[in-house]
Amino acid sequence: MNRVWREAILPLLVLWLISTFGLTIARVDGSSMNPTLQTGQAMLLLKSPRWGYAWHLTGLPYRRGDIVIFKAPPDSEYAWETLSILGVWEVRHRSYNIKRVVGVPGDTVEIRGGQLRVNGQKVAETYVSGGAAQDEAPSRVPLGAVYVLGDNRQLAESVDSRFYGPVSVKDVAGTANICLWPPGRVGGR
């Protein structure tokens, strides 16, 4: 039993601890973060800052410009999807999304004249795809939340905080500012 523990159970436990509380790999799927991220890219998802914040060891770990992976608010019509398992069972679950943090608690975020403004100031965004974003009324980011947008702001290309409002930090899995694949592509700030 000691050998089984050392050679099988312990390594699996360590792997589970690392992937749950430390880091894991996430695959990009969709065009909402174009041109920064493309479908098929592999991103390193850092989870440890999330747990530091959840356990009140650190302050808010997310800053404007961070790319984060999160679940949409549970009361949003965009939060749930149904998966078919072997064509027999259907399971509803909240899928993960990847977007950029543009507002942190206390910020007022709006889009006016196709330009993102935070606290009334225009934000220089060299990473946004072409095409004007539709104007959005000012939205104040509450404590414990972040405002996220896709880099592809063209109409219907990114479902983000413009559709479901600020995202609770509890629903953010972590930051994904490091691209692992393909080599040479950087998906951060």
- Please indicate, yes or no, if residue 87 is contained in any of the structural domains: yes
- Please indicate, yes or no, if residue 104 is contained in any of the structural domains: yes
- Please indicate, yes or no, if residue 31 is contained in any of the structural domains: yes
- Please indicate, yes or no, if residue 186 is contained in any of the structural domains: no
- The yes-or-no verdict on residue 7 having pLDDT over 90 is no
Per-residue pLDDT reduced to its tens digit, 65-83: 999 999 998 888 888 788 7
CATH assignment at residue 39: 2.10.109.10
Radius of gyration over alpha carbons of the chain, in Å? 18
Instruction: Tell me how far apart the alpha carbons of residues 97 and 109 are, in angstroms, rounded to a whole number.
Output: 20
Q: Which domain holds residue 27?
A: 2-181
Confidence of residue 119 (pLDDT cuts 50, 70, 90): very high
Q: Which of 47, 71, 99, 161 is catalytic?
A: 99
Q: In 3D, which of 138, 171, 134 has the Cα closest to residue 155?
A: 134
- The yes-or-no verdict on residue 188 having pLDDT over 60 is no
* Total structural domains within the chain: 1
- Please indicate, yes or no, if residue 126 is contained in any of the structural domains: yes
Whether 99 sits among the annotated catalytic residues: the reply is yes
Average pLDDT, the chain: 89
- Please indicate, yes or no, if residue 189 is contained in any of the structural domains: no
Whole-number pLDDT of residue 147: 98
- Please indicate, yes or no, if residue 112 is contained in any of the structural domains: yes
DSSP string, the chain: -HHHIIIIIHHHHHHHHIIIIIEEEEE--SSTTTTTS-TT-EEEEE-HHHHHHHTTSSS----TT-EEEEE--TTSTTSEEEEEETTTEEEEEEPEEEEEEEE-TT-EEEEETTEEEETTEE---TTSPSSPPPPEEEEEPPTTEEEEE-S--STTT--SHHHH-PEEGGGEEEEEEEEEESTT-----
Per-residue pLDDT reduced to its tens digit, 130-182: 766 789 999 999 999 999 999 998 877 899 999 999 999 999 999 998 999 88
Whether 71 sits among the annotated catalytic residues: the reply is no
- Please indicate, yes or no, if residue 43 is contained in any of the structural domains: yes
Whole-number pLDDT of residue 65: 96
Instruction: Tell me how far apart the alpha carbons of residues 181 and 93 are, in angstroms, rounded to a whole number.
Output: 27
Higher pLDDT, 97 or 2: 97
